[in-house]
Amino acid sequence: MKRSQWTALFCALALLLLWDMPVGAFEIGARVYYWFPAFKTDVKADNAGLAGTDLNLKDNLGVGTESFPSLEAFGAWGDHHLSLTYTPVNYSGSTTLANLVNFNGQTFAAGATVDTDLKLRMLDLEYRYTFLDVENILAGFSLDAIGQIKYIDGEAKMNAPAAGTEADFTIRAPIPMVGIGAHIGLLADILEGRAKVTGVAYSGSYLYEALADISLTPFPFLDIHAGYKVIKIRIDRNDVFLDSEFTGPYVGLTVSY
């Protein structure tokens, strides 16, 4: 999908989510994050009988660290919570190859100047059910069971303009995940903490995601967040191998009512 199509899809689903919430004792809102992760990504792509070279994006291809936004729309009705989050992850870099590289059926000679791009567009639909809610511990404590579908639209591309050589591969997959979340009130309705972890593993591949943060509510309907988030993803299928890890702090702002 093009970026404009992703944006239109996110907006349409977010509006549908908010519009479909019944009138009554419910919560709706929107949240924006900005994430500053360190990252490690290894990639390999075989094709046309040519074994791909094991590549580290930082060490071999000169790809540097970036930061990313996330946009979330959410709604809650009693113990039931539904959210939709969009996160675009984009990395790029340029380097002169020290050694010959094979990537998805193409050969890039040593000494060639190569531009590299990695894009992972992630759309998360998450349902949480609060199965334990204790209001008389500190300022409240709750536990949630989580079901999540993460749709990944990923692309890795290498291009040597002077040599006229280009190669890429794409990954598009909906990945179901399960997990657990916790919320604890620290100071009445002013200071709160939360944490969650979700994941799945199958056939040599896995995806794990975890975060923990503290939120401050200086005014009604407004929360300020600071926390730490981890995503680990490994996809090993057919002739494509991707192993990525993103870890780092984030800040966020929530508006809800």
Domains of the chain in start order, with CATH, are: 3-19+34-256 (2.40.128)
- When pLDDT is averaged across residues 6-30 and rounded to a whole number, the result is 61
* pLDDT of the residue at 213: 96
The number of helices, as runs of H, and strands, as runs of E, in the chain is 2, 14
pLDDT at position 127 over 70: yes
Please, is 10 exposed, middle or buried when counting C-beta atoms within 10 Å of its C-beta (0-12, 13-18, 19+)? middle
Which stretches within the chain are classed as H helix? 3-19, 57-61
CA triplet 14, 17, 22: central angle to 5 degrees? 150
- When pLDDT is averaged across residues 95-116 and rounded to a whole number, the result is 94
* pLDDT of the residue at 99: 93
* pLDDT of the residue at 21: 45
- Using a pLDDT cut of 70, give the percent of the chain over it: 89
> Poorest-confidence range of 73-77, 208-212, 239-243?
239-243
Tell me what the pLDDT averaged over the chain comes to: 88
- Residue 255's contacts (CB-CB under 8 Å, 6 or more residues apart) are 29, 30, 31, 221, 222
pTM of the full structure = 0.84
254 phi, psi to nearest 5 deg: -120, 135
- When pLDDT is averaged across residues 50-60 and rounded to a whole number, the result is 92
